[in-house]
Amino acid sequence: MKLFKKILLSATVFGVMASGSAEAAKIVIDGSTTVGPIAKAFADYYTKSTGVQVTVSESGSGNGAKSLINKTCDIATMSRPMKDKELAAARSKGVNPVEHVVALDGLSIVVHPSNRVNALSKSQIRGIYMGKYTNWSEVGGPNSPIVMIQRESNSGTADSFKELVMGKENPISKRAETQASNGAIKSRVASTPAAVSYIGLGFVDASVKPVLVDGIEADVKTVKNNTYPIHRPLFFYTNGQPTGAVKQFIDLPKSPEGKRIISETGFVNVY
């Protein structure tokens, strides 16, 4: 009897997905390169499950917000909350941005694997990016000039780093090199022994070395319990409360399959 109920429930859920998906022939997503791996994995799963085509662009959180405001996407992916000026611009165009938390992230501070520095304090990281420390020997590393790398101004990850590490009163040194995505930063750090930068937790692999921040490692546990100092939520934004296929897509993080996908992409489940 229990098995029959499970089969019936599964059939009902699939039927709801199938009927709901018929309301949209396509879902358009644009925004964050950090949220990109989650969105792409969700898109692949959702298209295979429902037949609804999902396109995912990674133009940055700022451009994701613009796409939602201009009504050129159904879902904006963002690695930071929408700013007041973006919300005002949206409302001026009759758009009502609704925030949905999709996952949690730890902003990982990464160096080249050959760098003997294994830990930095948030104060030291801030000092590096302000230009106070210019040589690795000043923070326990080799005698080598520090190559600091940041994200471009349109990046939600850049905004998160400025808010969580730098603070409003501490500008980043003009000596900082700029890269356009998490992937580009990872490649640059992996090929540059003196480099330091920051990337989303899901992008960390053996090509770079994450350092402890204030003695805490960024992992699922420390991000979820808020003990890792540089943690943040990741977002989907819709114009108003979603319905039909878009709602089904937005609800994926709450489902067992969605949770599995988030874990496999290296990020942290919030539900």
> In a structure prediction context, what are the per-residue pLDDT tens digits for the chain, which is 271 residues long?
333 333 333 333 333 343 333 455 799 999 999 999 999 999 999 999 999 999 999 999 999 999 999 999 999 999 999 999 999 999 999 999 999 999 999 999 999 999 999 999 999 999 999 999 999 999 999 999 999 999 998 899 999 999 999 998 999 999 999 999 999 999 999 999 999 999 999 999 999 999 999 999 999 999 999 999 999 999 999 999 999 999 999 999 999 999 999 999 999 999 9
Domain 2-104+234-264, CATH 3.30.750.200 — does that match?
no
Q: Do the domains 105-224 and 2-104+234-264 match in fold?
A: yes
DSSP strand pairing (119-120 vs 26-31): unpaired
- Cβ contacts of 181 within 8 Å, gap of 6 or more: 33, 58, 151
In b/e form, how buried is each residue of 215-244, taking b as 16+ CB within 10 angstroms?
ebbbebebbeeeebbbbbbbbbbbbeebee
Return the pLDDT at 24: 55
- On the 0-12 / 13-18 / 19+ scale of CB atoms within 10 A, 15 is exposed
Distance CA 155, CA 170 (A): 18
- DSSP secondary structure code for residue 134 in this structure: -
Return the pLDDT at 22: 41
DSSP strand pairing (195-200 vs 97-111): antiparallel
Domain 105-224, CATH 3.30.980.10 — does that match?
no
Which among 147, 129, 229 has a CA at the least distance from the CA of 192?
147
- DSSP secondary structure code for residue 262 in this structure: H
- Cβ contacts of 147 within 8 Å, gap of 6 or more: 177, 192, 194, 195, 196
Return the pLDDT at 19: 36
Residue extents of the structural domains in the chain:
2-104+234-264, 105-224
Helix (H) or strand (E) holding 264: helix 256-264
Indicate the pTM of the whole model.
0.87
Residue 100, helix vs strand vs coil: strand
Return the pLDDT at 209: 98
Phi/psi for 79 (5° steps) reads: -100, 15
Distance CA 91, CA 100 (A): 18
Please check whether residue 175 is in contact with residue 157, taking contact to mean a CB–CB distance below 8 angstroms.
no
Q: Give helix 2-21 / helix 36-50 axis angle, nearest 10°.
A: 100
Please check whether residue 165 is in contact with residue 145, taking contact to mean a CB–CB distance below 8 angstroms.
no
Please check whether residue 185 is in contact with residue 149, taking contact to mean a CB–CB distance below 8 angstroms.
yes
Return the pLDDT at 247: 97
